[in-house]
Structure 1
Amino acid sequence: MFFDFGAGEIFGLGVLAVILVGPERLPQLAVDAAKLIKKVRAMANSATSELRENLGPGFEDLSPSDLRPKAFIKKHIANALDEVDAAEKAPKFNAKIDPDLP
């Protein structure tokens, strides 16, 4: 996802954690880290849902990755190009004015 860790790096970090923290405090540290990650994830989900709510209609499918300027611009340009393509492909009607009408 964000980090590219292999088995060797994870094992090395585990050994380093046991040496620095100690085997008796490591389980509590892992529990505290899991709680912190859960809290941060809940805050991020709350902020995203609040942002969707405040932006109003049209932003129901908003995701945090859409907030990066590059992704935001790409998404909106793609939507605009799709609208232009749809308009060009739509059937064109040539309306003729009836010359007999006043």
Structure 2
Amino acid sequence: MFESVGWSEILVLGVAGLFILGPERLPAAAAWLGRSIRKVREFATGAREQLKGELGTDFDELRKPLQDLQQLRNFDPRQIVAKQLFGGDDTNGSTKPNGFAATQPAIPPAPAPKPDPPKLNPGERPPIDPDAT
């Protein structure tokens, strides 16, 4: 439920609660929050058990797509795209789904540096390239 909340966020909330509520009311507020979270969890568990009892095997069929979505949430989009573009589902990584080998393209050699243009004499006009204008 709170898996995306880290320790630093909890610490900030605790310090903010200390300033807002004060040291006298903070323990009572923390106890109330704990009881409320426990009640919500009990309600959710009860509702899940009631649905499971009423739906039977259909509950598992309804829950399967939700589990698939939960698994997709854990994937990194860059990994998914890279996997689709460069690698298939095979374990050795030798062929892609289209049957072609998953080899890296050859790196072309670096182009040779262009020689510096000739120096112009004072007052001389540079050459004009009519195709470039």
The root-mean-square deviation of aligned C-alpha atoms, in Å, is: 2.9
Shift in CA distance, 8/49, structure 1 to aligned 2, threshold 3 Å: closer
Aligned partners of 2:2, 2:13: CA distance in 1, in Å? 17
Unaligned runs of 5+ in 2: 70-133
User: How far apart are residue 25 of structure 1 and its match?
Assistant: 0.4
Deviation at 1:2, TM superposition (A): 4.0
TM-score computed with the length of structure 1 as normaliser? 0.53
Aligned mates of 1:37, 1:29 — CA distance in 2: 12
Deviation of 1:59 after TM superposition, in Å, equals 4.7
Partner in structure 2 of residue 9 of structure 1: 9
The answer to whether the aligner puts 1:26 opposite 2:23 as a matched pair is no
**Structure 1: stretches of 5+ with no match in the other structure:** 75-102
Structure showing greater Rg: 2
Give yes or no for the alignment of 1:66 onto 2:68: no
**Partner amino acid, structure 1, of 2:40:** V
Q: Deviations over 1:56-75 (max 9, x none)?
A: 3x257x4xx928xx52787x
Identity %: 35
Counterpart AA for 1:11: L
Q: Tell me the distance in 1 between the aligned counterparts of 2:68 and 2:34.
A: 35
Moved over 6 A (4+): none
Residue correspondences, number: 68
User: Larger % of helix: which?
Assistant: 1
